[in-house]
Amino acid sequence: MELIAKLGILADAAKYDASCASSGAPKRSSRGRDGLGATNGMGICHSYTPDGRCVSLLKVLLTNFCLYDCQYCVNRRTSNVPRARFTPEEVVRLTLDFYRRNCISGLFLSSGIIRSADYTMEQLIEVARLLREEHEFRGYIHLKTIPDADPLLIEQAGRLADRLSVNVELPTDESLKRLAPEKQGHTIRQAMGTIQRGQQAVAGEPRAPRFAPAGQSTQVIVGADETDDRTLLGNSESLYQGFGLKRVYYSAFSPIPDSPGSVPLAAPPLLREHRLYQADFLMRGYGYKAGELLSKAGNLDLDIDPKLAWALSNREVFPLDLNRAEPALLARIPGIGLRSVERLVALRRERRIRYDDLIQLRCVLDKARPFIVTSDYRPAQADLRSGLLRARLREPQAPVQMGLWG
């Protein structure tokens, strides 16, 4: 099979992995040296596809032959899809060609499970080794880690790659048993533990060889099973705390061709996915706890964002005086982001904050107005009930997701 035909099949097979980040790698440069590639911590999105997703890396499978039968996966062994397999040299050739053209910042390589977990992992490592050692490639490399692979192989991968990821895919052991019978929650967590120990071993040792310096991430599928957002966010929180994960990616389950009856054939729940990302960001960036964002079983509201939802159910905290409140509390005001908080704090060292300053800072005033006090403004609706406020602030629910499905 020609390279271009393989590329079509193996890119098509890889699109369900949400991550395409190329950020967080240490500073590397090829200036005046043989080889190719640089990283500086910042990711670059080299293109966007019409689904609005960033293209930062060449994201392909080494092969979409697979022994497993995960129901949500287009590449499961019972799926009727065309199959292909790259040689490691072919992936290297594509990576270097696309990189030279400035189409990508690196490679994200994953694979179906062939022969055994160890054999598959060895193949992934071989690609990274060829790139790093034979071609002196200093761009970004993200390797998918096969949970059941030998810990020694995972360590080898960590020395070559900037990021490793083990996908959780399904958030509960019951769902894994039902939909991904060959996978086990505890081996997934073991692999995460191996990666974390590899990172801890070199932490604080600037001369030690790097180990997955851009950290580890995972992906969880949203909407393939019945798991609610509260469980998802609780899981993410324990992954961040327990394994020091950099990111949890949420992937709205998108219907697959030749779909088995065990998974839905509905449009992907994109808005739900969006709310989960917002809530996840509030946990990582703003210090919210999962339990604060969803205090009882169920899903995040779709019609308002999770920060506004928190503010509406904690009205006793507001209104906050922008000239006096602690920065950490300012960050909890809907419509005012971390960057604006920084700027407000800088500004209030010079003079009193006025309402007009928020306009200049391009804060989302429709959301912020009921929750703030400035030197020249107090909210008139301070005593307005949360229910009315919510009705006023909810986002119009366009039936976009129905599309052709209605």
Residue list 170-199, contact with another protein (CB under 8 A)? 181
Least Å distance between CB 31 and another protein? 5
**Counting contacts by CB under 8 A, is residue 291 touching another protein?**
no
Q: What residues does 220 pair with on adjacent strands?
A: 169, 250
Residues 258-277 that bind another protein (CB under 8 A): 258-260, 267-268, 270
Q: Which residues, at least 6 apart from 147, have a Cβ–Cβ distance to it below 8 Å?
A: 117, 166, 183, 184, 187, 188, 190, 191
- Whether the CB-CB separation of 28 and 37 falls below 8 Å is answered with yes
Identify which range of 115-123, 147-155, 207-215, 257-265 contacts another protein by CB under 8 A: 257-265
Q: Which stretch binds another protein (CB under 8 A): 63-71, 213-221, 239-247, 299-307?
A: 63-71
Q: How far apart are CA 215 and CA 345, in angstroms?
A: 32
Q: Edge-to-edge, what's the strand order for the sheet holding 216-222?
A: 58-61, 106-110, 140-144, 163-165, 216-222, 247-252
Interface with another protein, residue 77, by CB under 8 A: yes
Residue 141 near residue 156, CB atoms below 8 Å = no
- Number of helices and strands (H, E) in the chain? 15, 10
Q: Which of residues 332-371 bind another protein (CB under 8 A)?
A: 343-344, 346-347, 350-351, 353, 357, 360-361
244 binding another protein? (CB under 8 A): no
Residue 398 lies near another protein (rule: CB under 8 A): no
As given in the structure block, the two tokens for residue 67 are 């022994």
- Provide the 3-class DSSP secondary structure of residue 63: strand
Given the rule CB under 8 A, which of 32-40, 116-124, 212-220, 296-304 is the region that contacts another protein? 32-40
Which CB sits closer to another protein, 116 or 231? 116
Q: Indicate whether 397 belongs to the interface with another protein (CB under 8 A).
A: no
Q: For the chain, how big is the Rg over CA atoms in Å?
A: 23
Judged by CB under 8 A, which stretch of 34-42, 186-194, 225-233, 305-313 contacts another protein?
A: 34-42
* Under rule CB under 8 A, residue 406 binds another protein: no
The reply to whether 55 sits near another protein by the rule CB under 8 A is: yes
